[in-house]
Amino acid sequence: MLTSRELLQFLYHRRTIRAIDRQFALFIGQQLGDLDIAMVGWAALVSYELGKGNVCIDLSSLDVARLFDLPASDSARVVELLKPQNAIDMFLRVSVVGNGDTASPLVLDGTRLYLHRYWCAERCVANEIKKRAVLIKVACDPKSILDDLFAPDIADLKIHYADWESDVNLSHVDRQQKLVDYLDITSPEQVDFGALVALLKINVNMSEYLALIPDSMRLNWQKVAAAVALCYRFSVISGGPGTGKTTTVAKLLAALIFSSDKPTDLEIKLVAPTGKAANRLAKSISQALVNLPVSQSLREKIPIQASTIHSLLGVIMNRVKFRHYEGNRLHLDILVVDEASMVDLPLMARLLSALPDHARVILLGDRDQLASVEAGAVLGDICINAKNIYSATCAEQLSALTGFSLACFNANQPVTDSVCLLKKSYRFHTKSGVGQLAFAINAGDSRRLQQIFAQGYDDIAFHEMDSDVYTAAVHQAVEGYREYLNALSMGETMSAVLHKFSAVRLLCALSEGQFGVAGFNREIENALVKERLIILGKEKSYLGRPVMVTQNDHGLGLYNGDIGIVVKQEDSLRVVFEMPNGRLKTFLPSRLPEHKTAYAITIHKSQGSEFSHIILVLPPMPTPVMTRELVYTGVTRAIEMLDIYATCSSLEIAVRRKTHRFSGLAEALSTPLNLC
């Protein structure tokens, strides 16, 4: 029979497990004085699954036919060694597995086996959320400001309705439905649409207009989301692209400032996991403030600068620990975290534990996007049971703040009560192919894909992958990048060059191979040389080269995923980056941390960014990384145009394959608070 030592050697030599997985397993064997016992194999499996993003292994749902993702025949030999049916009894007997009360390398919690650090992080996140997910009394009644902030814009509505009336393709019923959608009407049968249209023809204010459709006939989820965040010190606003998450949070911050009873100004911080996401958050908030119906003095109290989570916590060079932690907490009243789906479990634990007890934390993100590259799916676990149906007590308070009637049931669900899902897209309308495609992907409806491609939407195109089409994808990318390279050669500003480079991006599912980032970067670079748009020299850096940082450098303020362009400055090459504060900063290429060419990037690396035109390439043969969440994330990076290069079969298989990460966070959030 296979021993654990032989298993490690077999898995390591075929590159199934990483060096760190092997070393951890050997460490466990050394602690027990036996490298051949089954516990060593279990240790390797826990570490291996962690590398895939799973916080733990769950014996109650372990796929014994695919242990270590091996073929069934090899997995059967591993099962014979590990004996999963007897594993819990063994875990309870060995010294390297504990229950969390004392220090031990591994922790058994029910049927889940964790590395101790990740068990602690999961407990911390669950407890910090549950401490804050308690219904609180709002300092003063903010209903009036919520009404003002979220009132429909009648001037904008008049412009839209004029367009609808002039559209000969729209019937009377179609125009009526557009009014229903615009005004968030839930009871159209009770509305006099003739009177609504008549009022649009004369000068009336919104209060007169809304008198025809009182709150009891409407339901604006953005307004509900703001009310949720007023009622809890922990809240989540989740929604897809274009659902108005940052617009909502700008209005929410105005309402929090207006209703605050603090004698001094509220200390508000905006953060995101990456520099580019922080920069985008800052720009979105700035744009939202322009039309905010509040006084200038209140508007000035809302911050327009954002930073990375690491910067907020305070990086200490060459140390794992941050400057701010549970023993030295942050000084703030409100924390907004954008792109929360990208935040891994350990980082979320460090962030939440560094907050003062009174602070509100508001998570923004899309629960349907890819989870973090590292272990955990925190946002997904928090939102897993959220359906915009609230407990009776919560619904009563939300209704009092919004005037809306909300679905409710008599159950205590504090964490779910603090979540609001935004479903109305202001970007992807019914004529948007990108929007229709994203909806079908999210629903796992693979049969709908070809119907959407065949309907002739102007903003999407599907290209069945073969060798000629591969060349076409490269050519399309070259044409897209031509504009920024021409801008660079014409001496346009660095801001203009960066902006034009961000207009288009080629996204891949894979890193390596012909259909991965490495292959496409090489082909695009060669094609750009043939077009005389770039000139390669002996040095790796050249004028116009886009580079992506792949390793954090806290000293330089550059982080994994940041993208810059090589420019000529003072007779030498420099790399210019747009920093989270919106300013441009240049570096010598030799000073950069590890980096690579970035004409093509992975879908993972594109999170937190949006581009006018996306060229999405999926390999012709399906691979395990190709999942529904991956395709959805890639598709929704496109603002105006999407070209997909793939085979029908590989795309459909990916859409049917939903990612599931093992953790105990969702279950822990549904149990009473348990402070360690």
Q: For residue 312, give Cα distances in angstroms to 219, 233, 325.
A: 36, 19, 11
Pure H helices in 71-115: 72-82, 87-93
Q: Scanning the structure block, which residue is given the tokens 């209005």?
A: 251
According to the annotation, is 561 in a ligand binding site? no
User: How many whole angstroms separate alpha carbon 419 and alpha carbon 377?
Assistant: 16
- For residue 198 the two structure tokens come to 């008549």
Calculate Rg over the CA atoms of the chain.
27
Residues in Cβ contact with 210 at an 8 Å cutoff, skipping those fewer than 6 apart? 151, 152
Asked if 303 and 270 touch (Cβ cutoff 8 Å), the reply is yes
According to the annotation, is 380 in a ligand binding site? no
According to the annotation, is 241 in a ligand binding site? yes
**Chain centroid to CA 571: how far?**
40
Can you tell me whether residue 378 is helix, strand or coil? helix
Asked if 218 and 183 touch (Cβ cutoff 8 Å), the reply is yes
According to the annotation, is 223 in a ligand binding site? no
- For residue 152 the two structure tokens come to 């429909």
Asked if 403 and 590 touch (Cβ cutoff 8 Å), the reply is no
Q: What is the dihedral of CA 194, 196, 201, 203, to 10 degrees?
A: 150
Determine how many CB atoms are found less than 10 A away from the CB of residue 99. Answer: 11
Q: Helix 517-530 crosses helix 467-489 at what angle (to 10 degrees)?
A: 60
According to the annotation, is 242 in a ligand binding site? yes
According to the annotation, is 240 in a ligand binding site? yes
The vertex-525 CA angle with 523 and 526, nearest 5°, equals 65
Q: Scanning the structure block, which residue is given the tokens 């202001």?
A: 426
Asked if 348 and 236 touch (Cβ cutoff 8 Å), the reply is no
The vertex-363 CA angle with 360 and 364, nearest 5°, equals 140
According to the annotation, is 557 in a ligand binding site? no
DSSP per-residue string spanning 208-271: HHHTTS-GGGB--HHHHHHHHHHH-SEEEEEE-TTS-HHHHHHHHHHHHHHH---SS---EEEE
According to the annotation, is 41 in a ligand binding site? no
Asked if 578 and 498 touch (Cβ cutoff 8 Å), the reply is yes
User: How many whole angstroms separate alpha carbon 171 and alpha carbon 536?
Assistant: 58
Pure H helices in 531-565: none
- Which residues are documented as binding site? 239-246
Q: Which residues are annotated as a binding site for ATP?
A: 239-246
